[in-house]
Amino acid sequence: MFIPVSGKNLPRRLTQVVVGEVIFGIGSGLMVVSELGLSPWDVLHQGLARQLGLTVGSWTIIVSFIVLIAWLPLRERYGIGTLLNAIIIGVMIDVTIAVVPTPSETLWAAALMIGGIVIVGVGSGMYIGANLGPGPRDGLMTAVARRGPSIRLTRVVLEVSVLIVGVLLGGTFGIGTILFAVGIGPLVQFFLPRWSVDTGRPEDAWDHPAG
């Protein structure tokens, strides 16, 4: 049920997974502050916050643990990075929202939105490359995909579903949502091999070297 915390370069990997998730949370928070659209899951988190109270970050944490419960019948294995992901990202979203002022100019809002997407890409590459367990939502996607549907189809169905629910709850759908959907895949593909750490385990090897 749990992925062992083992392998080569463990101190670096533990540091990298924490830093990557902090960075990811900051990027997500910047997108919230921009008010120009969020990732599909954050549209859901924001919609829940607007309807039920609490903060966007709090709902990020709550939904993360609900998703982790959904892993149980799918027999997906938890890692230390998975559990840290469920907490750190939500905390950093709220910290970022608290310290970064809402932009008064469209240009500044656009910079926060674009910067947020890029920063999420960097953070994703870092925490995934540490090989200490997938994030709750990524793990759900891969666990479902192993049972038949392709990863691409599974991701589309999951993200469109949470996006629709989030919009109905009042979450922000905008240009940032579209740019995130288009850009996050290439960004992760670019950053992941550059942050992939050798664990000494063949199953963790990244097939696409940097450069």
- In the chain, what percentage of residues exceed pLDDT 70? 95
Give the pLDDT score at 134: 86
Q: What is the pTM of this model?
A: 0.88
Q: Which is higher by pLDDT, 117 or 148?
A: 117
Q: Helix 175-195 vs helix 106-129: angle between axes, to the nearest 10 degrees?
A: 30
- Residues 186/130/75/86 CA torsion (nearest 10 deg): -80
Query: Which tokens belong to 71?
Result: 């892993």
| Residue 14 in this model has a pLDDT that exceeds 90 | yes
| Residue 206 in this model has a pLDDT that exceeds 60 | no
Give the pLDDT score at 201: 65
| Stretch among 48-52, 82-86, 200-204 having the lowest mean pLDDT | 200-204
Q: Helix 56-74 vs helix 10-34: angle between axes, to the nearest 10 degrees?
A: 130
Q: Which is higher by pLDDT, 145 or 121?
A: 121
Residues 25 and 156: their CA atoms lie apart, in Å, by 22
Backbone phi and psi for residue 207, each to the nearest 5 degrees, phi listed first: -80, -10
Give the pLDDT score at 205: 54
Tell me the pLDDT tens digit for each residue of 99-141: 999 999 999 999 999 999 999 999 999 998 998 988 898 888 8
CB 123 within 8 A of CB 27: yes
What does the pLDDT average to over 159-171?
A: 95
Give the pLDDT score at 211: 28
Residues 176 and 37: their CA atoms lie apart, in Å, by 4
Running DSSP on this structure, what letter comes out for residue 200? S
Task: Please list, in sequence order, all residues whose beta carbon lies within 8 angstroms of the beta carbon of residue 60, skipping any fewer than 6 positions away.
Answer: 28, 41, 42, 45, 89, 90, 93
Give the pLDDT score at 210: 33
| Residue 209 in this model has a pLDDT that exceeds 80 | no
| Residue 147 in this model has a pLDDT that exceeds 50 | yes
Tell me the pLDDT band of 208, cut-offs 50, 70 and 90. very low
Tell me the pLDDT tens digit for each residue of 32-74: 999 999 999 999 999 999 999 999 999 999 999 999 998 888 8
